[in-house]
Amino acid sequence: MRPRTRSDASTGTGRGPSAWLRSRRLRRFAERIGTPIVPGNRVEVLIGGRDSTRAMLDAIRDARRSVAIEMYTWADDPMGRRFAEVLGARARNGIPVFVLVDAFGSLGSAGLLASLERAGARVVWYHPLAPWTPIWYPNRRNHRKLLLVDGVMAFTGGINLAACYSDEFVGREAWRDLMLRLEGPIVRRMARMFLATWVRSGGRPDAAAPLVALPAAVGRSRVQVVGGRGWKGRRTLRRSHLSLLVQARRHVFVANAYFAPEGWLRRALCRAARRGVRVEMLLPGKSDAPVVGWAGRATYRALLEAGVHIREMDQAVLHAKLAVFDGQVMLAGSANMDYRSFRHNQEMAVNVFDREAAATALRAFEAEFASSRPIRLEEWERRSWGRRLLERLAYSVRFWL
């Protein structure tokens, strides 16, 4: 048997990974996760904020039946105002527009969203900030990023409606992230997830009827949506991550913005590396939430000793939530590898069983990986005691980060 090469690990060629896309294996995977894998979809990977937001705005302008946005952060800045202007125009033209925003993530944008309401859009705030009420829980946040157009097209990923994601506004400092554009039957499931949260947050279900359609099969990609609200949704998210890691045979690539893993996730990454899988992790060197980074670094030693390859991105803020398994399966969406995503937040992640989509995302972020700073065990062991103490303190409160 010829030795495994680096290109084999990246592309997933060879005998082992081909089993990923076999129908029997996909059925077993869906049963294990508890969520169906839906065939007949078309998936496009959009890298970066400029291309992603441009495609989203074009889709909104072309909407004929309905538009719905579920967003964690909708900033009152040039990007946020651009979306409000386009959506307001569609609402004034009689297109039903539904907006669901997180009350904490979009703090400071009430005036902007009020202007959307005046234009005719329906705006609902998820879990308003009301600490004086007995049922208010500060960590219960809606972290999804979702756009639905006419019930037949969806966009999801890690990009919020804020200027910091686009090089149009901040140049090379633009945060690194991606979105997926999906068409086909999977959009119906995503619309139903939006509708469930809309109703639970106080929106009228009858008004949102135009959101749910019966999209026809338009492609060959098989897609699974995981996550959702409550304990059941978070359980499917955990099962999905764990099952993908357990079944990887050659290569796992992870790019994740907020890495402060639970024990099961750290152990799964270590076990994969020890059984010969090349595990590469691109993590942030600078972040808008540095305490989460400190907590994640408390786990580096165990990962490095197991053989995991870690690099930190210093050239810009990494905000992606991406994983690629054996070059054939891509996981993307809003969920980070931290306690907040797996224990508290409402998230949405998409498993795409498609070689081409996985390869597109992998190429973009492996280029970032190659230009980022490697973390080596020998050097890591020489860091100061002050840094070690800071990391341990941050890790001790990881549940609340």
Residue bearing the bigger pLDDT, 91 or 13 = 91
Q: What is the mean pLDDT of residues 326-335?
A: 96
Alpha helices in 131-223 (DSSP H): 167-170, 186-200
Architecture label for domain 6-400 = 2-Layer Sandwich (3.30)
What does the DSSP 8-state code read for residue 343? I
Q: By three-state DSSP, how is residue 97 classified?
A: strand
Band of pLDDT at residue 14, cut at 50, 70 and 90: very low
Q: Retrieve residue 321's tokens.
A: 């939530």
CA angle (248 as vertex; 243, 251 as ends), nearest 5: 140
pLDDT tens for each residue of 68-87: 999 999 999 999 999 999 99
Q: In angstroms, how far apart are the furthest CA atoms of the chain?
A: 68
pLDDT of residue 135: 67
Band of pLDDT at residue 8, cut at 50, 70 and 90: very low
pLDDT tens for each residue of 185-202: 999 999 999 999 999 999
pLDDT of residue 1: 36
Domain segments of the chain: what residues? 6-400
pTM for the model stands at: 0.93
253: which strand partners? 280, 324
Q: What is the mean pLDDT of residues 60-72?
A: 97
For residue 364, count other CB atoms closer than 10 A to its CB: 18
CA torsion sign for 74, 151, 225, 197 is positive
What does the DSSP 8-state code read for residue 279? E
